[in-house]
C-alpha cells in the first residue's frame, strides 16, 4: 500500500474534475486525479455527447421527408438504428482522447483508476493507495435518478447510461419525464421512426418560460410525439417488449400507456454514496454536498463542484466551477460562484435556451419595473430562407439592463451565449444594440431584440418627433 502526498487531489474525471486537474498542474501544482469508471464522465460517455450525436442523425432523417418546399423530392429514410448508434460511438471515440488518461498523464497529472473514499479530513483511500492532500476537490458528478415506482423493478428499463447499448430501434418508446433529456430523446427517436410517448407528472419543460417552451412542445406534437402532462405514474407492469405505465391525474384515475421500451428520465442524483463523507466532516443536503458561495464544503480543505454540489446540473457549470475554485485552492484568493449568468439549452428542433430570470421570475422580483422586449424569429431573413423561422426571443429588462432572456428557435443555444456575456458583465441594452451582426445570420435576432427595446422610445415618443422636426427646420 502506497502512501502518497500531493497539493491537490481531484476525485472524479468528468468535465469539472478534468478542468481542475489540467488547470492546476499547468500552473505548477502537484495533482492526483482519481477515476473509478470512465474518463470524461457522464457528459462524454452517456450524456451531452452521445445525445447530440443521435439528435444529429435524427435531424438528417427528418430532412429527407421535408425537402419538397426547397424544390427537392423527398423520400422516406431507411433508418439503420444500429448504424446511427455506431455514429454515436464514433463521436465519443473522436472526443475521448482529449479526456484520456494518457493526455492527463502527459500534462503531469498522476491518474489513479480507482474510486476514492475519505479516511479522515485530509486523507483519501483509492485502491491500494492512501493519499494525503492539502486541498481536495470532489467532482463525482451525478447519476440517473430512478424513482421508487411500484413494479419498476419487475420490468427492463433504460436510463441515459444504458440507452446507448441498444442496437434495435424501439418500436414504441415510453419516456417517464418531460425535462430536457426526455424531450430530446423523444424527438430524436420519433424522427428515427419510433412511436414515442412522454409521461410527465407536472408540465413538460416546466423549468423554462412557458411561452417559449410551447414552440418546442408544439413541434414535438407535430412530429407525432404523444405528450401526457399532469400524469402521475402509479405503477409499471408487463414484460420485455410489452411494458405498461399506469398513471393518475390528480385524484382521478388516469391512463395506461403500453410500449416496447421504457426510458426513465426524471432527473439526477448526486454521486456521494462511495465517498464516506462523514469521516471527513462533510455535510450533505437533499440535492448534494453542502457548499458555501466559494464552493467549499463544511471541511474547509475540501471543495465540491459540478452536479455533486447540488446546484445547476450542466457540464458547462462544472467547467465554470473549476475556474472558481482554482483561484481559491491554488492562490488563496477569495472567489465566489455566481448563477445569474449561467445559461442552459435544450437541443430539440427548435432549440430552447434560457439565461437569468424568466418573465414570471422577473416580474416577481422587480414588479412593474420590468420591461419585456420581444422579437419574433419569423421575421429573421436567414431563418426564413432556411424555413426554420418559428420561434421567439424575450429579453427581460430592468433599469436598462437585461436580467433574463428566453429563446425558442434555430440556434437558440448559440444565441443565448451573447446574453450570458451581457449578464455576467452587467451590460446595458444600448451596448447590445451597438453590436453589428453580419447579414443574413440568425445572430441578428439578438440585435433585433435589443432594437425592440428601444423602438418605443425612439419611434413612439412625441418629444423625439418634435426635436427631430425642429432640427430639420433649423438645418440649411
In a domain, 338, yes or no: no
Residues 398-414, mean pLDDT to the nearest whole number = 98
Torsion on CA atoms 444, 219, 145, 202, rounded to nearest 10: 110
In a domain, 277, yes or no: yes
280 and 132 in one domain? yes
Asked whether residue 471 carries a pLDDT value surpassing 90, the answer given is no
127-151 per-position pLDDT tens digit: 999 999 999 999 999 999 999 999 9
Instruction: For the beta carbon of residue 211, count every other beta carbon within 10 angstroms.
Output: 15
Instruction: Examine residue 92 and state whether it is found in any structural domain, yes or no.
Output: no
16 and 33 assigned to the same domain:
yes
309 and 262: one domain? no
Task: Report the C-alpha gap between 89 and 50 in whole angstroms.
Answer: 7
Residues 189 and 210 reside in one and the same domain: yes
Q: Decide which of 242, 266, 290 is a domain's last residue.
A: 266
Instruction: Note whether residue 91 is domain-resident.
Output: no
pLDDT exceeds cutoff 60 at 418 = yes
Side-chain-side CA neighbours of 198 within 13 Å: the count stands at 31
As a 3-state breakdown, the chain gives helix, strand, coil percent values, each rounded to 5, of 40, 25, 35
7 in any annotated domain:
yes
β 401-409/392-398 pair status: antiparallel
Query: Which positions ≥6 away from 222 have C-beta within 8 Å?
Result: none
Residue 251 predicted with pLDDT over 60: no
Render 58-117 in DSSP notation, one character per residue: HHHHHHHTS-GGGT---------HHHHHHHHHHHHHHHGGGG-HHHHHHHT-EEE-S-EE
Decide if 471 is inside a domain: no
291-323 burial code (b ≥16 CB/10 A, e <16): beebbbbebebbbbbbbbbbbbbbbbbbbbbbe
Question: How many angstroms separate the CA atoms of 187 and 194, rounded?
Answer: 9
Rg, C-alpha atoms of the chain? 25
Cβ contact 453:394 at 8 Å:
no
Within a domain: residue 199? yes
Asked whether 368 and 419 are in contact (CB, 8 A), the reply is no
Indicate whether 163 and 226 sit together in one domain. Answer: yes
- 197 falls in which pLDDT band (50, 70, 90)? very high
CB 175 within 8 A of CB 185: yes
Domain with 434 in it = 343-459
In a domain, 278, yes or no: yes
User: Tens digit of pLDDT for each residue in 105-128?
Assistant: 999 999 999 999 999 999 999 999
Identify the residue whose cell numbers are 460511438.
Answer: 89
Both 139 and 12 in a single domain?
yes
**Residue 376: how many CB atoms within 10 A of its CB?**
15
Whether the predicted pLDDT of 362 surpasses 60: yes
Which residues fall within 8 angstroms of residue 93, CB to CB, at 6 or more apart?
none
Read off the pLDDT of each residue in 280-299 and give the average, rounded to a whole number. 97
Domain boundary among 296, 331, 366: 331
Look at the chain and report how many structural domains it folds into.
Answer: 3
Mean pLDDT score of the chain: 95
The confidence score (pLDDT) of residue 464 equals: 67
pLDDT reading at 466 higher than 90: no
Closest among 93, 123, 159 to 11, alpha carbons compared: 123
Cα 41–chain centre separation: 15
Question: What end-to-end distance do the CA atoms of the chain give, in Å?
Answer: 92
Which percentage of the chain shows pLDDT scores above 90? 92
**In this structure, how many other beta carbons lie within 10 angstroms of the beta carbon of residue 438?**
8
Mean pLDDT, to the nearest integer, of 233-253?
89
Is there a single domain that holds both residue 297 and residue 395? no
309 shares its domain with 370: no
- For residues 134 and 7, state if they share a domain: yes
Considering only 20-24, 66-70, 428-432, which range has the smallest mean pLDDT?
A: 66-70
Structural contact between residues 189 and 79, judged by C-beta atoms closer than 8 angstroms? no
112 with 207, same domain? no
pLDDT of residue 445 exceeding 80:
yes
Cβ–Cβ under 8 Å, residues 254 and 232:
yes
Q: What pLDDT sits at residue 469?
A: 74
Per-residue pLDDT band for 252 (boundaries 50, 70, 90) equals low
DSSP code for 122: S
Report residue 302 as a C-alpha cell: 475540501
Q: Give the CATH number of the domain where residue 287 resides.
A: 3.50.50.60
pLDDT of 473 above 80: no
Write down how long the chain is: 476
Rounded to an integer, the average pLDDT of 363-392 is 96
Predicted confidence at residue 458, as pLDDT, reads: 65
Question: 414 — phi, psi (to 5°)?
Answer: -80, -40
Contact criterion met (CB below 8 Å) for 59 and 191:
yes
**Residues 244 and 161 occupy one common structural domain:** yes
- Say what the pLDDT of residue 470 is: 78
Q: CA-to-CA distance for 120 and 463, rounded, in angstroms? A: 71
189 and 311 belong to one structural domain: no
- Residue 289 is classified by DSSP as B
Amino acid at each position: 500500500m502506497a502512501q502518497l502526498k500531493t497539493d491537490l487531489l481531484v476525485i472524479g474525471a468528468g468535465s469539472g474534475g478534468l478542468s481542475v486537474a489540467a488547470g492546476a498542474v499547468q500552473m505548477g501544482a502537484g495533482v492526483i486525479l482519481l477515476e473509478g469508471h470512465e474518463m470524461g464522465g457522464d457528459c462524454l460517455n452517456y450524456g451531452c455527447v452521445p445525445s447530440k450525436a443521435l439528435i444529429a442523425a435524427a435531424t438528417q432523417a427528418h430532412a429527407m421527408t421535408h425537402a419538397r418546399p426547397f424544390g427537392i423530392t423527398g423520400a422516406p429514410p431507411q433508418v439503420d438504428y444500429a448504424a446511427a448508434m455506431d455514429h454515436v460511438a464514433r463521436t465519443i471515440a473522436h472526443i475521448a482522447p482529449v479526456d484520456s488518461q494518457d493526455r492527463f498523464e502527459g500534462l503531469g497529472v498522476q491518474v489513479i483508476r480507482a474510486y476514492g473514499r475519505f479516511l479522515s479530513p485530509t486523507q483519501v483511500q483509492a485502491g491500494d493507495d492512501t493519499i494525503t492532500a492539502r486541498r481536495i476537490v470532489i467532482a463525482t458528478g451525478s447519476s440517473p435518478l430512478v424513482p421508487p415506482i411500484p413494479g419498476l423493478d419487475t420490468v427492463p428499463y433504460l436510463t441515459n447510461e444504458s440507452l446507448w447499448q441498444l442496437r434495435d430501434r424501439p418500436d414504441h418508446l415510453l419516456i417517464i419525464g418531460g425535462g430536457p433529456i426526455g424531450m430530446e430523446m423523444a424527438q430524436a427517436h420519433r424522427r428515427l421512426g419510433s412511436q414515442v410517448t412522454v409521461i410527465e407528472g407536472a408540465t413538460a419543460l416546466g423549468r423554462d418560460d412557458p411561452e417559449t417552451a410551447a414552440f418546442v412542445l408544439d413541434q414535438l406534437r407535430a412530429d407525432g410525439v404523444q405528450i401526457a402532462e399532469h400524469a402521475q405514474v402509479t405503477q409499471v407492469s408487463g414484460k420485455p417488449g410489452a411494458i405498461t405505465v399506469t398513471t393518475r391525474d390528480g385524484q382521478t384515475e388516469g391512463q395506461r400507456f403500453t410500449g416496447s421500451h421504457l426510458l426513465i428520465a426524471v432527473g439526477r442524483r448526486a454521486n456521494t454514496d462511495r465517498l464516506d463523507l462523514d469521516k471527513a466532516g462533510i455535510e450533505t443536503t437533499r440535492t448534494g454536498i453542502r457548499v458555501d458561495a466559494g464552493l467549499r464544503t463544511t471541511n474547509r480543505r475540501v471543495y465540491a463542484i459540478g452536479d455533486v454540489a447540488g446546484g445547476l446540473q450542466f457540464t458547462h457549470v462544472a467547467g465554470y466551477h473549476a475556474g472558481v475554485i482554482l483561484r481559491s485552492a491554488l492562490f488563496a484568493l477569495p472567489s465566489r460562484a455566481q448563477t445569474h449568468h449561467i445559461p442552459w439549452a435544450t437541443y430539440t428542433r427548435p432549440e430552447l435556451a434560457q439565461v437569468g430570470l424568466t418573465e414570471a421570475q422577473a416580474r416577481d422580483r422587480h414588479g412593474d419595473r420590468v420591461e419585456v422586449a420581444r422579437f419574433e424569429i419569423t421575421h429573421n431573413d436567414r431563418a426564413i430562407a432556411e424555413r426554420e423561422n418559428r420561434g421567439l426571443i424575450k429579453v427581460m429588462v430592468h433599469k436598462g439592463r437585461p436580467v433574463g432572456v428566453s429563446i425558442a428557435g434555430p440556434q437558440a443555444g448559440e444565441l443565448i451565449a451573447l446574453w450570458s456575456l451581457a449578464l455576467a458583465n452587467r451590460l446595458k441594452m444600448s451596448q447590445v444594440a451597438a453590436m453589428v451582426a453580419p447579414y443574413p445570420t440568425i445572430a441578428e435576432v439578438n440585435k433585433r431584440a435589443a432594437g425592440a427595446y428601444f423602438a418605443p422610445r425612439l419611434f413612439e415618443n412625441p418629444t423625439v418627433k418634435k426635436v427631430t422636426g425642429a432640427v430639420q427646420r433649423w438645418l440649411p
